[in-house]
Amino acid sequence: MGTLHYGQHELRFEDRLLVHLQLVMAGKLRRQECFMMTWQTPVEDGSRRLSVWVNPMTPILFALDGDGKVQINRAWLNSLAESANSASGLLVQPEPTEEAEGTHDRGSSSSRASLRSVPSTR
C-alpha cells in the first residue's frame, strides 16, 4: 500500500493503482487543471464515499511501498483519464478484468486480487 500525500491528507492506495493515478493526475496538473477525485473506502473503514478537490497549487507526494515498477494497463489508464476529464472528475475504479477489456493477463493473480480492495484513508 502506497500513500498519496495531498495537503494535510494521507490517502492509502495499492501501489499499482497509485502508479496509474499518478500518471493521470500528473497530466491534469501539468496542464494546470483542477479536478475532483472520488473514491470508496473499504467496509472495514466504514464504506464511505470520499472526494477531494485537486488543484495545481497544493503540494502532492506519491509514496510507493514497492519499487513502482508496474506494467501500465492502457485500458485502465484511459478509463481513469476519461473520468478525470469528465464533469464528475476522477473516479477511482478497480482495474478492468481481462474479460472486460478483451486482453491477456497483465499482472499476477495476487496483484489483481489486491486491486479488488478499495483504497482507504488513514
pLDDT tens for each residue of 56-81: 999 999 999 988 788 999 999 999 99
Q: How many domains does the chain have?
A: 1
Strand 9-13, strand 2-6: pairing: antiparallel
The range of the structural domain enclosing residue 13 comes to: 2-121
Q: What is the helix, strand, coil percentage profile of the chain, to 5?
A: 35, 25, 40
Q: What's the order of all strands across the beta sheet hosting 49-54? A: 49-54, 35-40, 90-91
Pairing relationship of beta strands 60-63 and 49-54 according to DSSP bridges: unpaired
Q: What does the pLDDT read at residue 80?
A: 97
Output the pTM of the full model.
0.76
Instruction: Say what the pLDDT of residue 99 is.
Output: 52
Q: Which triple of cell numbers denotes residue 45?
A: 473503514
Residue that has been written with the C-alpha cell 475532483 in this structure: 36
